[in-house]
Structure 1
Amino acid sequence: MYNPELYKTPYHTEDISKHSFLVTGGAGFIGSNIVEYLLKYKAGRVRVLDNLSNGYFDNIKDFTSLPNFEFILGDIRDLETCRKAVEGIDCISHQAALGSVPRSITDPITTNEVNIKGFLNMLAAAKDCAPNAKFVYAASSSTYGDSIELPKVEGREGKPLSPYAVTKAVNEMYAEVFSSIYGMHSTGLRYFNIFGPKQNPNNPYAAVIPIFCKAFIENTQPIVNGDGETSRDFTFVENAVQANIKALLHHGQNQHTIFNTACGDQVSLNSILEILRELSGKNIQAIYKNERPGDVKHSKASIEKIQKELGYLPGFNFSEGLKIVYNWYIKSNTLS
């Protein structure tokens, strides 16, 4: 039921058996990992809201027999569904969204409906039906847009480069307005390229690490967009879960706050390929193609703010995380 390699260390000190949690998008990659952590540490109640359009029931099916777990099949684009989902909840982890820059370029309308309308519905539902609940949401490093400054620091954003980036920037603006007008103080976690177990490599808009892992396991040549020197602050999923737990249980918040959620490091695509060659013992070479529109060349986060205010400290560096997830893909049925 629980991955023995993950969540060996608790990231909370208070008794979470007295709290009820809602995880929207809880059948998705990051959401289901948050659910796993909460259930492993005996949270009082864990409710998942997901429409399964981008999440997978397999990610949470092992938890359905637990008395403190509840699943709601529903869509955040429906306000009444959001209202029902937040009833009786102390802590809201809003992970539901349509990710992927390429998907947003192909279908900006649906990306807007889910990421902006759905987000606003969740804010409104929480304000009206769970006004005292903590509200933590998935923000994105894409909000830094065309800024070339490294490392990326909260408050120094550029212009968005994709419809997806626009939606995530709008989320932050809505959250700021709800904080100033209604006194509903939320926390946004700007994820930097999260990877790890339960991330599906077969999704048409799958991220680069599951795609690369699948290629090495299946002995095929991975496709690289660009020259392979594009770099990201790739962040293992347990680090993201840590940030969520600490934000959800943080006390004394009096304003809307944004935190980078990352490792404060850079890894190039070519470096990933080299590590996978070592892990697999296979000398597989990539096929290089043109860069994708809307992508930035380099990204690296400053994590000084989240370290100082939440006590966040990445527990896994990139190589450690990649080894765990590569072995997980080998053992799981995700590739089939």
Structure 2
Amino acid sequence: MNYYGKSVLVTGGYGFIGSNLVHDLVKLGAKVTVIDNFLENTSANLLNLSDIKGKFEYFNACLTDSKVVNEVVKNKEIIFHLAGQTSHTIAMNDPLLDLKANVISTLSLLEACRLNNPKVKIVSASTRQVYGKPVKLPIDENHELNPPDVNAIHNITADNYLLLYDKIFGINSIIFRLTNTFGPRQNMKMNSQQVLPIFFRQVIEGKEISIFGDGEQIRDFNYVTDVSHAFLIGGLANVHGEIFNLGNKNHKSLLEIAKSIIKINGSGSYRLIPFPEERKKIDVGDTYLDYSKVESLLGWKPEVSFERAVLETLDYFKGRGVDSF
């Protein structure tokens, strides 16, 4: 994969997926610039890039800061757009914060590109939550959009801006709608984030894994190295104006997942607890994505087994301490 010498920008580069991507880009010899404003209650963490400090250029700024962003986007060949607010519960409690973090920031980035670098390629992250409660499974890219919460509405809006600027202004963009992603450098402290980091933290701390409801809700999961690989493929692909689902055929119930984590960890226990009302209202039930389109057009598919991914994630956080993340 030829990234050597390419000038790339990673928005949200100190976050979970962004920092894993930055590590990969640095290894590949890219000229990497990171912009991140360390939005509160996100996965942004100085430790995520501490081992490669000095090997990339960094700007501490929000994407709505046009003075900075207008300069940062100049001469970039590829922009990986991973900045944003991903918690659905935080979005419901503070919709204006989520609007700024996910919609206004994306539009600001697009405007900076239109004015200063319209030939750039953008690879952007979105979420499977935009589909809402599935009408059919697995969910493909033609599934109707039925956003169950504020964050999903804002992701749809950001996606539409990207597609519009691709069509009208020629700013080539592709969008990856992600399912649950986990792995090293993930935020382990926030209960408002997705379920797997909560499970990992609880089992590492020797606590019972808490599962909402009956635990029979089915999900698919991807390891962060596979997701980073998809972004790398997307950045070089001669494809634009497309949305791709990044799913996994190995879908499991939350109860099965908890039992797998306990088994791989070598100890632990779980308990079923009632659904918190704020989560029950936005839960979409069983959901997993069809990734056949991205496999067909870009040649991507998940490679890392769930068991190996869990083992590597446990080892990573046990060696560093979950409180650091």
Could you tell me which residue of structure 2 aligns to residue 288 of structure 1? 273
CA distance, structure 1, for counterparts of residue 6 and residue 266 of structure 2? 46
Q: Deviations over 1:87-114 (max 9, x none)?
A: 2211100000000111111111100111
1:250-261 matched pairs, under 5 angstroms: 250-251=237-238, 253=239, 255-261=240-246
In structure 2, what is the equivalent of residue 49 of structure 1?
35
Is the CA contact (8 Å cut-off) linking 1:240 and 1:262 kept in structure 2? no
* Unmatched tracts of structure 1, length 5 or more: 1-11
Summarize the alignment of residues 255-270 of structure 1 with structure 2, pairs less than 5 Å apart: 255-270=240-255
Q: Secondary structure at the match of 1:74?
A: coil
CA contact (8 A) 2:120 2:171 kept: no
Name the structure 2 match of 1:117.
Answer: 104
User: Does the Cα contact within 8 Å between 1:228 and 1:288 map onto a contact in 2?
Assistant: no
> Aligned-pair distance for 1:268?
1.4
Q: Distance in 1 between matches of 2:135 and 2:310?
A: 27
Report the CA distance between 1:158 and its aligned residue.
Answer: 3.0
Task: Name the SS for the 2:158 alignment partner.
Answer: helix
For residue 147 of structure 1, what is the aligned residue in structure 2?
A: 134
Q: Does 140-149 or 33-42 show the bigger shift?
A: 140-149
Say whether residues 1:318 and 2:318 are aligned partners. Answer: no
1:299 counterpart (287, 301, 312)? 287
5+ residue gaps, structure 2, are none
Residues in 1 aligned to 2:52 and 2:123: alpha-carbon distance in whole angstroms? 22
Q: Deviations over 1:101-149 (max 9, x none)?
A: 1111111110011100001111111222121111000011011113331
TM-fit CA distance, 1:161: 0.3
1:237 and 2:224 equivalent?
yes
Q: Distance in 2 between matches of 1:127 and 1:204?
A: 38
3-state SS of 1:298 partner:
coil
Match of 1:61 in 2: 50
The equivalent of 1:214 in structure 2 is 201
How far is the alpha carbon of 1:204 from its aligned partner?
4.4
What is the rounded CA distance, in whole Å, between the counterparts of 2:209 and 2:259 in structure 1? 12
Give aligned-pair identity as a percent: 29
Q: 1:180 aligns with which of 161, 167, 171?
A: 167
The 8 Å contact of residues 91 and 133 in structure 1, kept in 2 or not, is answered as yes
Residue correspondences, number = 318
Secondary structure at the counterpart of residue 301 of structure 2: coil
**What's the offset of the Cα at 1:283?**
4.0
Aligned to 2:66: 79
Task: Report the equivalent of 1:24.
Answer: 11
Instruction: Please identify runs of 4+ aligned residues in structure 1 that moved more than 4 A.
Output: none
